[in-house]
Structure 1
Amino acid sequence: MSDDLDDRPIERPDSSAFRRLPPVHAVLGRPELAEAIEAKGRETVLGVVRAVLDEARAAIARGVDPTAVDDDDAVIRSVCERLEQDRPTLRPVINATGVLLHTGLGRAPLAREAVEAVARVAVGYSNLEFDLDQGTRGRRSIGVAALLRRLTGAEAAAVVNNNAGATMLALRALAKGREVIVSRGQLVEIGGSYRLPEVFESSGARLHEVGTTNKTRLGDYERAIGPETAALLRVHPSNYRIVGFTESVGIAELAKLGRSRGILTIDDIGSGALGPGRPPGIVGEPTVAEAIEAGADLVLCSGDKLLGGPQCGLLIGRAEVVRRIEADPMMRALRVDKMTLAALEATLRLAMDPDRAARSIPLWRFLSVPVERLGDRAGRLADRLRGSMGLAATSEGAFAYLGGGSAPDEAIASACVRIEPPLPGRWATAAEASRALRLGTPGVVCRVQHGALWFDLRAVFEEDDEVIVQAIDALVRG
């Protein structure tokens, strides 16, 4: 190495730059941070202030121009920006995608009555497993079980954390180490790479496939029954359909065969429709009440799909079968908490009166809104966006879908607001504008289709129309 380089003087950072940085207590005392301290806590804000000042000192030490944070006002701006970014990971969004049971957006929103029920039991103690009349320990799901019996005509019911858990638990309790016969065409994979054969493996039951992908007959099940057979299983294909040259066996035929051979019949309907008209406007989906009436020993379904309640899995059927499941040690690992039970009970009470439920359960209300009313809302929104913001906005007819693995090929007439880019400012493409809307407060999630923004109103609460306008206005104003 050259001696000339070794003899160069070492550049020291300007000490005055360090002195210009405000002390921590001075920053914390600024009125601009009072609201953040109240909302997030003093320690959280203190940590952000220290981090900003530490980064400024490190920049000065490296010889970087520290003018971005060289006084109180600059530090406050940087701290406020950090605090704005420090938002909860899970936060509300407006679903303008046209998919009502959007798994990525939390599936079914809860009814106001369900939210209030959760709040009542969450803020204090409750009689979760305590019989207030007898003063002894009680069963945590007794209330929802009674409601499910009334709604479906079943003898008994139990609740676990989701329908995948219900399926695994039922197979484990009823068929561990034995065979369960299922049609090859019903071995489905649904969202998140969840595959039915893997559930069989986890439960300890052995899978016995019958039939072909497109055709399974009653005789296929009959020939497969043997001494190791514990149950016949029908699985609702949920998010796909096989059409054309097809044949399948109904639950009534399957249940009759099971009874004649002394084996159980399990119907995994997935979607959670309780019965005809619950929810309104849905046809062709299997329901719990119909499966019970047809003779199924056990019906499995979700609580956060067509029922419109919280995430959970329902096991509904004959009392002896449900008792066997509840006696399995895995039941405790999959049980739900007091908040889920409170929301589920409130939702089921609403479902007792279909007319009231259609007004109160959000999913049922979305399904009940006439498309003409949606069209009127879309027209008013488009007029405002054109008039006040100068956007290329139009009202368009569209189709929404249930989603969540329910009725995948059943389109629901809807209405959209369509905005053609570019938007004023830096939003040259629909993808850029869509991302900015998603990151807002609250986030607005819409479709990007044919290079335009599409806001489908089928799953948007009417009171949120104004929120969408405000979000677009904030986007336009930058």
Structure 2
Amino acid sequence: MAPTPARDLLRSLPPVEEVLRSPQVSALAPLLPHDILADCVRDAVDAVRSAILAGSREPVDSAALADDACARALACLRPSLRRVVNATGVVVHTNLGRSPLADEAVHAVTEAARGYSTLEYDTDAMARGSRHDHVEGLLCALTGAEAAIAVNNNAAAVVMVLAEFAQGREAVVSRGELVEIGGSFRIPDIMAFSRARMVEVGATNKTHAADYERALTPDTAMLLKVHPSNYRIVGFSEQVGMREMRALADAENERRRAAGVEDEVLVYEDQGSGAFINLACFGAYAEPTVAESLRGGCDLVSFSGDKLLGGPQAGIVVGSKQLIDRLKKNPLARAMRLDKMTLAALEATLRLYLDPERALAAIPTLRMLSEPDGAVRERAERLADALRRAVPAGCACIEVVPEVARAGGGALPLCDIPTFAASISFERGDAQGCEAFLVSKRAVPVIGRIKREAVLLDARTIGEDDIAEIAEAVRAYFEGPGAAAASAGIAEGAAEGSPAPAAPAAGRSAGAGA
């Protein structure tokens, strides 16, 4: 039988109004404005038209076209930013929102968001107040700093510090610390944007105190140390400690004072991860705490709020009151300031740190990083049991396997964190199809990873209330038509009632990031 000519197929495309009157599309009319629903239909018709023009000679299926229009319309109703189950084993997962908030922080956000608040109102003075006050006292108490300021992320904090103290002047930094953080943001680019003149010293693997000393000139504004939180140089390597940098700056400042020069060389560390507690379970891999950097001699330290601190996205600068007061007056401080909800979450998180034991139990990031291996294994066993009950007989082999988790967020890059995962090996279906289904065909995506043709669901980064959600999602995959088709030799992850499109292995591509 000869294939249908393209012109005939194009003529057979139904009008938009006809598709809108189809039962499945018209059922969505109460949920969406007519214009949006019509646009979804046009997109579905255009997709078929494009396929015909590209060479497809399949007859136009009006029912399938209407189904496609419905799928597009329902996608408009589904929130883009929504909850996922993180079963990757990456605790501070950049692509999945980094640190989940403590219950106390969530409650504080709700209270701040649902009505008016004391954001910039001082109830004691009954006058205008400062939004900086909500977290500054806590940050000083927890780090030993004289003053503090919080902005919207650590990259913003670095830009503000460099722009205020090194604009048009020299900032000396080791070549081994010219890092790139997530999203291709690089320290040299940030320094150029801040109009600081970068002076590189040392080599990639070794930098000595004498390198910094030789680089000092009357135009030097600061010695910059960038903590390489997302990588390590090991082997034949050496770096200059904070106390040595402090001694170099003090000697230079003494010479300047003797010469009647007021400008001093600052010592500033971009610490990145922002640990407040030195978790003993990481031993030699533990990140330095903010308090340790200040005691080592830093004038200023900046760090993230949503990495090892376990709070909301924020960039925090602590240190000398004289310097922090200058930052508060910088125009960038207003452009980069925190909103009331972020401040509420940050304040609540910081209050938990007043009792370190409570912080370890209540802040999810700290709890997941430090949870004993035995407790993780028990949760993995409960997950495996739930999966065995949910998955039809003869579909998969489910077992608990030892694995390695990661801190993520660019922190603790060399630290292997022992963990346990529920492993799904397939007798029907396949790992790629199952992963695509769990990620792209569920209202609450379940994101794991694939290893040796098995889907791994890591118990370190899930909660007890995630177990039922995971089991139901896996059951839906095996009871849908996709797994049955795959067992017959057609590898496809299917939604319930429709084939799943090809999708990237999200457990692999959704990286930990910096």
Residues 1:129 and 2:120 are matched in the alignment? yes
Residues 1:186 and 2:177 are matched in the alignment? yes
Is the 1:27–1:49 Cα contact (8 Å) retained in structure 2? no
Specify the code of the residue in structure 2 equivalent to 1:229: T
CA 1:323–1:114: 2 relative to 1, 3 Å: same
Is the 2:282–2:415 Cα contact (8 Å) retained in structure 1? no
Match of 1:101 in 2: 92
Residues 1:235 and 2:236 are matched in the alignment? no
Match of 1:468 in 2: 470
CA distance in 2, matches of 1:79, 1:194: 39
Match of 1:5 in 2: none
Residues 1:85 and 2:51 are matched in the alignment? no
Match of 1:455 among 433, 454, 457: 457
Q: Match of 1:246, SS?
A: coil
CA distance in 2, matches of 1:446, 1:25: 38
CA distance in 2, matches of 1:110, 1:93: 14
Compute the TM-score of the two structures, normalised by the length of structure 2: 0.79
Is the 2:439–2:447 Cα contact (8 Å) retained in structure 1? yes
CA distance in 2, matches of 1:446, 1:199: 34
Match of 1:374 in 2: 376
Match of 1:433 in 2: 434
Is the 1:185–1:212 Cα contact (8 Å) retained in structure 2? yes
Specify the code of the residue in structure 2 equivalent to 1:92: R
Match of 2:492 in 1: none
Match of 1:259 among 210, 234, 250: 250
Q: Which moved more, 1:295-304 or 1:461-470?
A: 461-470
Match of 1:214 in 2: 205
Q: Which moved more, 1:79-88 or 1:327-336?
A: 79-88
Q: Following TM superposition, by how much is the alpha carbon of 1:266 offset from its aligned partner in structure 2, in angstroms?
A: 0.4
Q: Deviations over 1:413-434 (max 9, x none)?
A: 1001111135x3xx33x12221
CA 1:208–1:444: 2 relative to 1, 3 Å: same
Q: Which moved more, 1:404-413 or 1:245-254?
A: 245-254
Q: Following TM superposition, by how much is the alpha carbon of 1:280 offset from its aligned partner in structure 2, in angstroms?
A: 7.1
Match of 1:395 among 395, 400, 408: 400
Q: Following TM superposition, by how much is the alpha carbon of 1:49 offset from its aligned partner in structure 2, in angstroms?
A: 6.6
CA distance in 1, matches of 2:241, 2:25: 69
CA distance in 1, matches of 2:281, 2:121: 36
Q: Match of 1:458, SS?
A: helix
Q: Following TM superposition, by how much is the alpha carbon of 1:53 offset from its aligned partner in structure 2, in angstroms?
A: 9.5
Match of 1:198 in 2: 189
Residues 1:48 and 2:37 are matched in the alignment? yes
Q: Following TM superposition, by how much is the alpha carbon of 1:437 offset from its aligned partner in structure 2, in angstroms?
A: 0.6
Residues 1:224 and 2:225 are matched in the alignment? no
Map 1:204-353 → 2, pairs under 5 A: 204-262=195-253, 263-277=265-279, 283-353=285-355
Q: Deviations over 1:2-43 (max 9, x none)?
A: xxxxxxxx9xx99xx99x96987998996xx59xx5xxx553
Q: Following TM superposition, by how much is the alpha carbon of 1:126 offset from its aligned partner in structure 2, in angstroms?
A: 1.6
CA 1:52–1:151: 2 relative to 1, 3 Å: same
CA distance in 2, matches of 1:196, 1:29: 54
Map 1:101-180 → 2, pairs under 5 A: 101-180=92-171
Q: Match of 1:220, SS?
A: helix
Alpha-carbon RMSD across the aligned residues, in angstroms, is: 3.2
Compute the TM-score of the two structures, normalised by the length of structure 1: 0.85
CA distance in 2, matches of 1:415, 1:186: 34
Specify the code of the residue in structure 2 equivalent to 1:434: E
Match of 2:479 in 1: 477
Match of 1:6 in 2: none
Is the 1:280–1:364 Cα contact (8 Å) retained in structure 2? no
Q: Following TM superposition, by how much is the alpha carbon of 1:276 offset from its aligned partner in structure 2, in angstroms?
A: 3.1
Residues 1:420 and 2:425 are matched in the alignment? yes
CA distance in 2, matches of 1:54, 1:201: 44
CA distance in 1, matches of 2:205, 2:44: 64
Q: Percent identity at matched positions?
A: 44
Q: Deviations over 1:437-478 (max 9, x none)?
A: 111121011111222111111111121112111110111111
CA distance in 2, matches of 1:286, 1:379: 35
CA distance in 1, matches of 2:43, 2:185: 46
CA 1:133–1:54: 2 relative to 1, 3 Å: same
Match of 2:497 in 1: none
Is the 2:386–2:467 Cα contact (8 Å) retained in structure 1? no
CA distance in 2, matches of 1:242, 1:124: 50
CA 1:96–1:25: 2 relative to 1, 3 Å: closer
CA 1:142–1:68: 2 relative to 1, 3 Å: same
Q: Match of 1:349, SS?
A: helix
Is the 1:281–1:367 Cα contact (8 Å) retained in structure 2? no
CA 1:431–1:318: 2 relative to 1, 3 Å: same
Equivalenced residues, count: 449
For structure 2, the 5+ residue unaligned runs are 1-7, 53-57, 254-264, 481-514
Is the 1:252–1:291 Cα contact (8 Å) retained in structure 2? no
Q: Following TM superposition, by how much is the alpha carbon of 1:333 offset from its aligned partner in structure 2, in angstroms?
A: 1.2
Q: Deviations over 1:104-134 (max 9, x none)?
A: 1111111111111111111222221122222
Q: Following TM superposition, by how much is the alpha carbon of 1:47 offset from its aligned partner in structure 2, in angstroms?
A: 3.6
Match of 2:512 in 1: none
Residues 1:409 and 2:414 are matched in the alignment? yes
CA distance in 2, matches of 1:467, 1:54: 33
For structure 1, the 5+ residue unaligned runs are 1-9
Map 1:49-68 → 2, pairs under 5 A: 52=41, 68=62
CA 1:50–1:253: 2 relative to 1, 3 Å: closer
Match of 1:3 in 2: none
Q: Following TM superposition, by how much is the alpha carbon of 1:97 offset from its aligned partner in structure 2, in angstroms?
A: 1.0
CA 1:354–1:54: 2 relative to 1, 3 Å: closer
